[in-house]
Chain A
């Protein structure tokens, strides 16, 4: 069974430029998460989707970040415009369902560098 797929794996952009990350969850997983991981820290949740619905986006900086999960499968996370402080690893994870007893599995991540 294929795991969570993310692309690109690496991205270098100049500040003020837009950038987008793509995620394909494990087949059959209804719940999709986007996390941000800074160096030396654990992942922090940005947004959670149950099928197509964003059920928790309280940590998403909505002035520059947006996300969508059309058709309840793939998801895209966008930053526009990017700032220097956005340099981090963006991780996508999925689980069979939402809730506390469903394990989350991570994709390989996208390492973003903003110069």
Chain B
């Protein structure tokens, strides 16, 4: 089982709709979770982090964390074509070597 798993997509969403990106992780003791956005040919850009169960909102972005289910998600409301990118879920793993572990990313396309 991979430490951090994401559906690689592509996920296609119409403009103005809600895009929902999901991530599961294996380390039950993990406490810190991050979402990065990566445009093609660019480096990852941090857009959200969440440490507590529940929802965290920042503008059009909402991160959701359910530690019991070992599940974290990112919702993008009112999706724009500029949101088209790969979204990387990252989990700070504390079992063994403590480090940030990334999923393979979900490629999101917003269709005008």
Is the C-beta of B61 less than 8 angstroms from some C-beta in chain A?
A: no
Given A101-B51, A106-B43, A108-B42, A42 and B103 contact (CB-CB distance below 8 Å): yes
Q: Looking across the interface, which residue of chain B has its beta carbon closest to that of A111?
A: B41
Chain B minimum-CB-distance residue to A101: B32
Total interface residues in chain A, CB < 8 Å = 20
Give the one of B44, B49, B92 with max A CB within 10 A: B44
Q: How many A-B pairs fall under 8 Å by CB?
A: 52
Is A72 at the interface (CB under 8 A from chain B)? no
- Chain B residues whose C-beta falls within 8 Å of the C-beta of A91 in the assembled complex: 43-44
Number of interface residues of B (CB under 8 A): 27
State the Cβ distance, A5 to closest chain B Cβ, in Å. 12
Q: Among the listed B8, B32, B51, B102, which residue makes an inter-chain contact with A43, where contact means beta carbons less than 8 Å apart?
A: B102
What is the interface of chain B, defined by CB distance below 8 A to chain A? 4, 8, 30-32, 34, 36, 42-46, 49, 51, 88, 90, 92, 94, 97-105
- 25 A-B Cβ contacts within 8 A? A40-B8, A41-B104, A41-B105, A42-B88, A42-B90, A42-B101, A42-B104, A43-B102, A45-B100, A56-B99, A89-B43, A91-B44, A100-B31, A100-B92, A101-B32, A101-B51, A103-B34, A103-B46, A103-B49, A106-B36, A106-B43, A106-B45, A108-B42, A108-B43, A109-B43
